[in-house]
């Protein structure tokens, strides 16, 4: 279960089909967005409690904007659910650590119509309230595929017709020279160590983004967004 906090996160959860077990509003007379949350929860038959703004639970939680909810689960699927026709572009995360980055990548994917993300079960940023907030609620709409071994899973995807592309700021081909083949999986590496050696060996091509200035790399979520935009453009 995941506890989410804040008006936007809870509203987005209510507007999606994610499963919510209960909601607590720290306001005896909710107005505005809190009133809307109360009404939507009532329509969906979700238990909702009112507590004073200065209650013990309210003081214990920070940044909740007077509302918290408990999600029982997001949308998790198996690797076998990937269909090249329905999922021509997929993102795979190679052990990212920062939930802000993962959430931002989910937001970009959702905005570009990319619905599936492959991620390791272990040594990966946790799926929590921070990640969901960073995704602006996009996490509610994503198909999340958690795997035990990212390299083996990508090899299986190759066998099913996917082309593998990896971000690489050093040895990659320039993004503007890439003529991508589809269906495609963009593999995004760890914020510090990049793509793991085994994954790097199995991908079909490495991609880098030409840069100006003195800083040697983009933020991983920004780089992912730039490359996904180009892949999406080529696909269409």
Q: What is the CATH number of the domain that holds 28?
A: 3.30.1330.30
Q: Are 126 and 98 in contact (CB under 8 A)?
A: no
* Strands of 2-5's sheet in order across: 2-5, 67-73, 19-25, 48-50
* The model's pTM: 0.90
63 and 134 inside one domain: no
16 and 114 inside one domain: no
3-class state of residue 43 by DSSP:
helix
Tell me what percent of the residues of the chain surpass a pLDDT of 70: 95
pLDDT band at 56 (very low <50, low <70, confident <90, very high): very low
22 and 116 inside one domain: no
Q: How far apart are CA 160 and CA 180, in angstroms?
A: 17
* Structural domain span for residue 145: 79-235
Least confident of 67-71, 178-182, 212-216: 212-216
User: Which helix (DSSP H) or strand (DSSP E) does residue 103 occupy?
Assistant: helix 99-111
Radius of gyration of the chain (CA): 20
On the question of pLDDT at 96 being above 60, the answer is yes
Residue 73 exposed, middle or buried by CB count within 10 Å (0-12, 13-18, 19+): exposed
């Amino acid at each position: 279960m995941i506890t989410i906090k804040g008006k936007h996160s809870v509203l987005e959860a209510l507007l999606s089909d994610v499963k919510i077990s209960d909601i607590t509003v720290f306001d005896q007379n909710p107005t505005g967005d809190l009133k809307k949350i109360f009404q939507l929860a009532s329509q969906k038959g979700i238990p909702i409690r009112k507590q004073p703004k200065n209650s013990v639970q309210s003081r214990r939680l920070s940044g909740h904007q007077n509302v918290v909810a408990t999600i029982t689960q997001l949308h998790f699927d198996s690797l076998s659910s990937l269909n090249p026709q329905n999922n021509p572009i997929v993102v795979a995360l190679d052990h990212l650590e920062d939930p802000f980055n993962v959430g931002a990548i989910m937001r970009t994917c959702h905005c570009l119509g990319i619905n599936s993300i492959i991620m390791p079960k272990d040594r990966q940023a946790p799926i929590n309230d921070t990640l969901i907030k960073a995704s602006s609620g996009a996490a509610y709409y994503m198909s999340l595929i958690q795997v035990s071994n990212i390299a083996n899973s990508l090899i299986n995807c190759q066998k099913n017709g996917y082309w593998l592309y990896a971000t690489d700021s050093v040895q990659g081909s320039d993004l503007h020279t890439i003529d991508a083949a589809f269906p495609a999986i963009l593999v995004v590496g760890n914020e510090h160590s990049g793509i793991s050696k085994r994954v790097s060996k199995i991908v079909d091509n490495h991609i880098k983004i030409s840069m100006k200035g003195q800083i040697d790399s983009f933020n991983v979520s920004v780089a992912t967004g730039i490359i996904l935009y180009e892949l999406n453009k080529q696909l269409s």
